[in-house]
Structure 1
Amino acid sequence: MPLHFAPSRAAGRSVVARILSRSAPVRAANDNGEFVVDDHLVEAALRHFAKHGLGAAREAREQAKIAFFNGDRKAYEWWLGVCRTLDRRVADRLEQNAR
C-alpha cells in the first residue's frame, strides 16, 4: 500500500513556513552605513589591533588626540580613520569633541 504525504492545513502558518517566506534584510546588521574604508586603512587598523588588542580603538583615539593638539591635521584624520574602522562610536565621540 503506497503512502501519500499531503501538507497539513496549517502549513502556511507553521514556524518553518514563516521563516522561509521572509525576505533577506536589506543591509547587514554590522554594516557601518555610508562610511567607506580603503584597503590601506583596514590593513593599518588590523595591524594596530594585532599590536594593542582590545584597547586598539582607545590607543588610536589617543594618537588622534595627540595629532589634533599638535596641529597635524593629516595625522589626526589618519588616526581618526583607524579608530573609526575599529570602533565607530569611539571615533564619533572623538570627532564631536574635536569640534
Structure 2
Amino acid sequence: MTIRFAAAMNGTMPAIAGVLCTGAPLDAANDNAARTRPMLCAVSNSPNIAMDAGIAEALMHFARHGLSAADRARIEAEAAHERGDVPARTRWLGICGHLDRRMAVAVAHRLRG
C-alpha cells in the first residue's frame, strides 16, 4: 500500500511555506516595537557550534542506522565504558541523548552506579 503526502495549499502557496519563513515571531508582540523577540526560523548571529555538531553527528548516525540508531549508540556507549574510554562514552551518550533522551539518561545512570 502506497502512502503519499501532499501539503495543504493555501491559495497558490503551500501551507508549509508559511512555517519556513524567517520573519514569523514565536509569540505575540507589538508591531511597532523594535524586533527583540526570537524568530521561528531566523539564523542566529552566534550559533552554538558544539550543539550543531552534536545534532549533525546524531543525524548522520540516524541516517546510517534508522530507527535502531539510539539503541546502537547505547551499545557503543556501553562498549566504550567497558574499554574505559571516557571521551567515546560521552560522545555516544550525547548521540543517544539526541535520539532518545530517556534511554541516554537511564544508561548514564546505570554506568555511573
Instruction: Give the distance between the partners of 2:60 and 2:87, measured in 1 at CA.
Output: 20
Find the partner of 1:44 among 41, 44, 57.
57
1:60 counterpart residue number: 73
Count of aligned pairs: 66
> CA RMSD for the aligned pairs?
1.8
Q: Secondary structure at the match of 2:84?
A: coil
Q: Deviations over 1:20-62 (max 9, x none)?
A: xxx99xxxxxxxxxxx971111000000000000000000000
Q: Max radius of gyration: which structure? A: 1
AA paired with 1:44? E
Q: Which has the higher helix share?
A: 1
Instruction: Give the distance between the partners of 1:61 and 1:39, measured in 2 at CA.
Output: 21
Instruction: Give the distance between the partners of 1:87 and 1:93, measured in 2 at CA.
Output: 10
Structure 1 residues not aligned, in runs of 5+: 1-22, 25-35
Instruction: Give the distance between the partners of 1:42 and 1:49, measured in 2 at CA.
Output: 10
AA paired with 1:54? L
Find the partner of 2:97 among 84, 93, 98.
84
Q: TM-score, normalised by structure 2?
A: 0.55
The runs of 4+ residues in structure 1 deviating greater than 4 Å are none
Structure 2 residues not aligned, in runs of 5+: 1-26, 29-47
